[in-house]
Amino acid sequence: MLRRSLLTLCVALVAALANAAPKQIDLLITGGTVLTMAGPTIERGSVAIDDGKIVAVGLSSDIDRNYTAKTTIDARGKAVMPGLINTHTHVPMTLFRGIADDRDLMDWLQNFIFPAEAKNVTRDFVRAGTRLAAAEMIRSGTTTFTDMYYFESDIADETKKAGLRAVLGETLIDFPAPDNKTWDAAIDYMRGYVKQWKGDRLVTPAFAPHAPFTVSREHLIQVRALATELGVPILIHVSETKNELQQVAEKQNGMTPGKYLDSINFLGPDVVAAHGVWLTAEEQAIFAKKKTGVAHCPESNMMLASGIAPVVDMLHAGINVGLGTDGPAGSNNNLDMLEEAASAARLAKVSKGDPKAMSAHAALEMATICGARVLGMDKRIGSLEAGKQADVIVIDLQQPKIQPVYNVESAIVYAASGSAVDTTIVDGKILMRGGKVLTVDVPAAVAKAKQIRDAVLQSLKK
Amino acid sequence: MLRRSLLTLCVALVAALANAAPKQIDLLITGGTVLTMAGPTIERGSVAIDDGKIVAVGLSSDIDRNYTAKTTIDARGKAVMPGLINTHTHVPMTLFRGIADDRDLMDWLQNFIFPAEAKNVTRDFVRAGTRLAAAEMIRSGTTTFTDMYYFESDIADETKKAGLRAVLGETLIDFPAPDNKTWDAAIDYMRGYVKQWKGDRLVTPAFAPHAPFTVSREHLIQVRALATELGVPILIHVSETKNELQQVAEKQNGMTPGKYLDSINFLGPDVVAAHGVWLTAEEQAIFAKKKTGVAHCPESNMMLASGIAPVVDMLHAGINVGLGTDGPAGSNNNLDMLEEAASAARLAKVSKGDPKAMSAHAALEMATICGARVLGMDKRIGSLEAGKQADVIVIDLQQPKIQPVYNVESAIVYAASGSAVDTTIVDGKILMRGGKVLTVDVPAAVAKAKQIRDAVLQSLKK
């Protein structure tokens, strides 16, 4: 009887000690203003991270005593929030940044971008461009990006090396591409690419049929079927310019691009439509019903004079809308998602004639959790919640540009820009700390970018 | 005869030596990509500065051998350009940054800004706000700013301490202001203010009657006469919102604000009209004829949903148009002139449906030499030319966000932001070097801003 009581006591003591003893974890971010994007902002909050995942979020006074961390980041005076999610870009085009701005779209495409791509885009080129873009994205707090380009398997490899998360769509188009000269070769490439990367922790391979006017109906139907078969998402430009509307109408019995895609059962929750500038109310209802997300790219739409996307209407219609920078060659020209969020809010306000049309909070949602929904990844990323992957950024609020702070969301969207990001974490791994990028050799990436610029300029002279 | 020949020889030798010997100067900026804004861009150029003025601009290979400088700035890999000129802001409002965004203008003004100003704006407040704003402006490459606020003589004092150049307009308005409770007191203040500051090397005092709908006809006529008498410029908000149009029309026989001001002979080359969002073609012709410049504030106009200013039309009409950030409280919320230039170009493009509507070059002109013209200071500042005051900035182009550079103007406007500014020089004095602000105690300014924020929040609870 005594032995039994002693045993019970011991078990109880061990249990109590186990409860009391702080749990060992990889990383603790403590003392910051935590924007979870899943509930109210936490002043003096902590985010506990272990094995790539968030294990707890809450008041530092509650969280910190429960954990001892291998690494602790002091976030006092800083904001802690989910990493930014860029839902549409073309990262290797960083190497064409500013090559031909302030021109008509067709002049820009036909006299600069297409010849420059035809003559220069190789595996080496896309790798160099991805490294440069990765440095820029890590520096400015993007943790997940969505790409449409060529040699996407090489882009995937560099993305993984940089430690970023990405949905990477191999571009499929009805004319010879830099990597695959024929449609069938591109489809073959896709099968191998998906086989190699599907299930990767960071990289999600995707199909990226270029647009409804550059890929035939038969090819779009083929892509739709293959994407379903292989279980990977589809990225596509939709309704970006008036010119596209005209071309689609001419070829597809007067249909608008969104209606046309719906008519061939192309749309679904696994499709990300970039731009959607000219989506009609009817198309918006279809997109909402089919759960097809839209990547809103306000700076690109402004820069190329494509038009002003009906972003407020799309949100009201129930469409998942994320933010995208688009490629940094003539259509932005940078990958700064905080600047993009500010532009999104400001453009929505002025175009609606209503300063309440889009709040700082709504813009940050588009840049985080709504972007995750667009990519079908909101169970894994987009907010700071226990169980999600640890994609987290820390923003230094102490710059004179940002102070004083009355409202942290307003400060981040309207006053800060990407340069205020201090720390970038993806999948629990620190990619930048104290403004220093750790996973990309930045001087080497910049030096290589200059070399390639010289070669590109040379190639255009020929 | 021999003595005479020897004398001649000596004189010739001395002259030759004087020509050959490098001239001693204060400052040489060498090896940069020099955007003079007065001619073609100079690759590997130098700017020689002495006694606050530019003494030479040209190829480093030509310039450098002619001078020995007390201080030399190596600008290799960097851009060198005229300092940015902000033609419209309210710098002490940095202390209200983000206090109440995403609201209707009247809600914002009547429930937040007016009560917050009435309860908090003192001499101490405007001085603290000016220090904070000065730190932000120096950090982001603004060398001249244009202010409309209260206690402007205190703002002038802090501006001079920070080493910035400014046109500082004391706000005159038909209701009790934080500094002067009556109109007559404000006019008295103005006389003293102008007497104290007129002729200062850095500060130009100005009248700032608030707007055509908040200052009576009689008072506007009085201000116009006094400004002419005292020889100082006038700053005024004109045609910013539709609400203003309605109010002016009701009181002034259906006239639009610009027409109304012209009808009382208010306009002239010494008037700076902020916003001009709703200026009609007829008014634009009048402004061009009267040489009244416009401060275009695209981010404020977007943020407050005031409308899209017809900036391209105004430029075509021959109006001098500069760029302004407006105040950083609900209408921006920062003082970054490079971000403003990008927004100006992008908004002009999308609103005109033409990517050629405003080039990076045109946006930079607005931010520099055109801004100088708006302020009537283009003989002294706004471009890098021998004889002008040495207001110069150096921008680091080596960030991954900016590289590679195909076109330096595009890189500065569309890829860089104020955080890329490396060195800021006003009147030949270095205010920031290597990103470190030298003339403002930044941590102290930020600490004071936080203190004031707490007091403001407390005051609004009462």
What is the full DSSP assignment across B300-341? HHHHTT-----HHHHHHTT--EEE----TTTS-S---HHHHH
State the span(s) of chain B assigned CATH 2.30.40.10: 16-82+388-437
- Contact by Cβ (8 Å): B169, B273: no
Alpha-carbon distance B215 to nearest alpha carbon in chain A (angstroms): 26
A273 forms beta bridges with: A236, A294
Rounded to 5°, the CA angle A366-A94-B76 comes to 120
Contacts of B97 in chain A (CB under 8 A): 402-406, 411, 415
Interatomic CA distance for residues B133 and B118, integer angstroms: 21
Contacts of A343 in chain B (CB under 8 A): 343, 346
Q: pLDDT tens-digit profile of B409-462?
A: 999 999 999 999 999 999 999 999 999 999 999 999 999 999 999 999 999 987
Residue type, A253: N
Q: Would you state the pLDDT for residue A105?
A: 78
* A9 pLDDT tier (thresholds 50, 70, 90): low
Q: Would you state the pLDDT for residue B11?
A: 54
Interatomic CA distance for residues B291 and B434, integer angstroms: 39
Q: What is the largest CA-CA distance in chain A?
A: 96
Alpha-carbon distance B443 to nearest alpha carbon in chain A (angstroms): 9
Q: Would you state the pLDDT for residue A205?
A: 98
Closest to B97 (Cα-Cα) out of B462, B450, B460: B450
Do A102 and B410 count as a contact with CB atoms less than 8 A apart? yes
- Contact by Cβ (8 Å): A425, A390: yes
Q: Is the pLDDT of residue A12 over 60?
A: no
Do A102 and B406 count as a contact with CB atoms less than 8 A apart? no
State the span(s) of chain B assigned CATH 3.20.20.140: 84-374
Q: Would you state the pLDDT for residue B10?
A: 55
Alpha-carbon distance A146 to nearest alpha carbon in chain B (angstroms): 18
User: Which tokens sit at B440?
Assistant: 């403002």
Q: Is the pLDDT of residue B6 over 70?
A: no
Closest residue to A102, CB basis, from B336, B355, B450: B355
Q: Is the confidence metric ipTM above 0.90 for this complex?
A: yes
* A8 pLDDT tier (thresholds 50, 70, 90): low
Average pLDDT over residues B364-372: 98
Contacts of A446 in chain B (CB under 8 A): 398, 400, 403-404
Q: pLDDT tens-digit profile of A240-249?
A: 999 999 999 9
Closest residue to A404, CB basis, from B140, B343, B452: B452
Q: Would you state the pLDDT for residue B337?
A: 98
Please give the mean pLDDT across all residues of chain A.
95
Residue type, B34: V
Q: pLDDT tens-digit profile of A177-216?
A: 999 999 999 999 999 999 999 999 999 999 999 999 999 9
Closest residue to B406, CB basis, from A345, A446, A453: A453
Q: Is the pLDDT of residue B16 over 60?
A: no
Q: Is the pLDDT of residue B2 over 60?
A: no
Closest residue to B360, CB basis, from A101, A140, A400: A101
Average pLDDT over residues A354-370: 97
Q: The whole model's pTM is what?
A: 0.95
- Contact by Cβ (8 Å): A340, A331: no
Closest residue to A401, CB basis, from B136, B346, B401: B136
Q: Would you state the pLDDT for residue A462?
A: 74
Percent of chain A with pLDDT over 70: 96
Return the number of CB contacts < 8 Å for A and B: 223
* A5 pLDDT tier (thresholds 50, 70, 90): low
Closest to A64 (Cα-Cα) out of A51, A80, A46, A49: A46
Contacts of A102 in chain B (CB under 8 A): 345, 355-356, 358-360, 410
Burial A175-214 (b: 16+ CB within 10 A, else e): eebbbbeebeebbebbeebbeebeeeebbbbbbbbbbbbb
Average pLDDT over residues B32-36: 98
Average pLDDT over residues A114-138: 96
Rounded to 5°, the CA angle B460-B133-B446 comes to 65
Q: pLDDT tens-digit profile of B371-383?
A: 999 999 999 999 9
Q: What is the CATH architecture assignment of B84-374?
A: Alpha-Beta Barrel (3.20)
Q: pLDDT tens-digit profile of B177-236?
A: 999 999 999 999 999 999 999 999 999 999 999 999 999 999 999 999 999 999 999 999
Average pLDDT over residues B313-332: 95
Q: Is the pLDDT of residue A277 over 50?
A: yes
Closest to B236 (Cα-Cα) out of B272, B270, B285, B267: B272
Report the CATH fold assignment for A16-82+388-437. Answer: Urease, subunit C; domain 1 (2.30.40)
Nearest CA in chain A to B363: A102
Average pLDDT over residues A439-456: 98
Q: Would you state the pLDDT for residue A16?
A: 52
Q: Would you state the pLDDT for residue B21?
A: 86
Do A350 and B302 count as a contact with CB atoms less than 8 A apart? yes
Who has greater pLDDT, B39 or B11?
B39
Q: pLDDT tens-digit profile of A17-66?
A: 555 689 999 999 999 999 999 999 999 999 999 999 999 999 999 999 99
- Secondary structure in 3-state letters for A286-320: HHHHHCCEEEECHHHHHHCCCCCCCHHHHHHCCCC
Interatomic CA distance for residues B339 and B139, integer angstroms: 13
Q: Is the pLDDT of residue A1 over 50?
A: no
Contacts of B299 in chain A (CB under 8 A): 346
For A132, A364, B1, B305, B347, the CA distances from A345, given in Å and listed in that order, are 28, 9, 86, 10, 13
